[in-house]
Structure 1
Amino acid sequence: MAVTSTVLDVTVLLLCVSASVVALGATDAGGPDGPTATDAADRLVTETATVAYPDGDAPNGTRRVAATRAELLALLAVRDGEGAFDREAVASVRAGIGPRTRVDATVRREDAASRGDAAGEPRGSDEEGSVAVGPEPPRTADVSAAVIRQPVPDGPGDASGERRPSEGVVRIVVRRW
């Protein structure tokens, strides 16, 4: 009687394990080649990353920025620096997109002087910035792409400490092969 019970228990266990393997194998992670560009773009706008970087002005010598990876790309695109924040933010974005993915973020902002006069003629130059993460896809690769529009983050204000709203949109192009 004990042998029958043990055999029955082992059989039920094997059936459960087999069913779980089939169920897990049936889930699709974006197709046979992994996630698509749309999947990578979705991760950029939904996953939050915390970037910690050294800063001598911070109380403990380290600053932390928590933002989505798309927001980090927007911050990088409007900055002109190659500091510790920039390096850590690029590393965070790179870790979140996976291999065989290229992300290009470009911002084009117009200041008040460059919007044009009443006749519609431009009066100045636009401000542009860009950042790229990941390698270029091979020329012979089948590439899928997705485009994200991310608002430009607010910039620092004047001496009073008030923040001023920035204008413009960061265009993020995700290419996956």
Structure 2
Amino acid sequence: MKPFNLVLFAPEIPQNTGTIGRLCVSTDTKLHLVKPLGFSLDEKHLKRAGMDYWPHLDLAVYENWEEFLAAHPGAVMHFISTKGETSYWDVPYPEGCYMVFGRESSGLPPEFYERYRKRLVLIPMEGKFHRSLNLANAASIVLYEALRQRRCRAAAN
């Protein structure tokens, strides 16, 4: 089992997914893609952003959200969203947890906001004009907080 898992729900931009794949290889994190995808996994932009890391990626692809849930019963999940009220700094990231990100254009599906309301996590943004951060940047920010917490837990033991 990998220490952490990044889940992209219906990603649309291959360059973001390629960059996140590279991030996952570099941090021993598993990447989960939930269809529909806005690109082909053979797309050159995906491979270019992922560079020579892509063949080393621990990747799982699911036809839909229900298939993902069935494959990971009881998983600890955090849903990263601008609609969250709890900062990503203020949630624990236990070993094996899943950090779920939505589409670049529209975020998570509307039904997720009610269904997973207590698990919505926000990356605070203080700028005057913002909608959301780039998906690859957001994934990096949250994953590195999880890695920081893991390191602190290990140092305390």
Structure-2-length-normalised TM-score: 0.26
Q: Which has the higher contact order (CA 8 A, sep 6+)?
A: 2
Question: Which has the larger helix fraction?
Answer: 2
Please identify the structure whose Cα radius of gyration is greater: 1
Q: How does the TM-score come out when normalised to structure 1?
A: 0.24
